[in-house]
Structure 1
Amino acid sequence: MPDEQLDPVIHAQARLRVVATLASLGARDRISFPRLQKLLDMTAGNLSTHLRRLEEADYVQITKTHEGRTPATYVELTLAGRLAFERYTQSLRALLGGTS
């Protein structure tokens, strides 16, 4: 299986960690940006950069809101992102000789 079958948007290590973490949440569940940042042990700037790339691919949805007077940002995996991650993991299993 050629490498180009692995989704290059997800394949970057940091984005793979982001998508895998979000995929562990239930469908339509979201996580706050600070919580995701802490779970992944990433800087805010680094996480923002990778989230922007995932958002451009329509793999994540970012919601900015306020809780009282405090700004809050939430991240969730879109249906397209969830399906892309499933395809990615199936391709990876096939590449490693597992079942597809």
Structure 2
Amino acid sequence: MNTTEGRHARHRLDELIHAPVRLSIVATLAQVDEAEFAHVRDTVEISDSVLSKQATQLEAAGYVKIRKGYIGKRPRTWLSLTPTGRTAYTDHLEALRTIAEGR
């Protein structure tokens, strides 16, 4: 058995956030308090269906809050990171930095 198991920073990577599309979504949301669905979709350059699926997975993990409402008569969806999501993202970035810097 390897005595260093669990010490390498890769063990701290969040598998849910690590996927490129979900990482891009979380990174976009980390910059704001809340973002409209269309803004996130356009920023990350994905389709509505891909964003919907990925946001639902992040919501199920408690990382993203999905809020629905209206502007006038037009339905809108807003996304935001939860405190849990912000912490997971920060921890994931720190693990990536540690790996990249060879620490």
Q: TM-score, normalised by structure 2?
A: 0.86
Equivalence map 1:8-47=2 (5 Å): 8-25=15-32, 29-47=33-51
Give the AA of the match of 1:33.
Answer: F
Q: CA RMSD in A?
A: 1.4
Instruction: Report which of the two structures shows the higher radius of gyration computed on alpha carbons.
Output: 2
Gaps of 5+ in 1: none
Sequence identity, in percent? 35
Q: Aligned partners of 1:98 and 1:52: how far apart in 2?
A: 34
SS at structure 2 position matched to 1:65: strand
Gaps of 5+ in 2: 1-7
Runs of 4 or more above 3 Å deviation: none
Q: CA deviation at 1:66?
A: 1.3
Residue 63 of structure 1 corresponds to which residue in structure 2? 67
Deviations 1:30-77 (A, max 9, x none): 111011111111000011111011101111100001122111100011
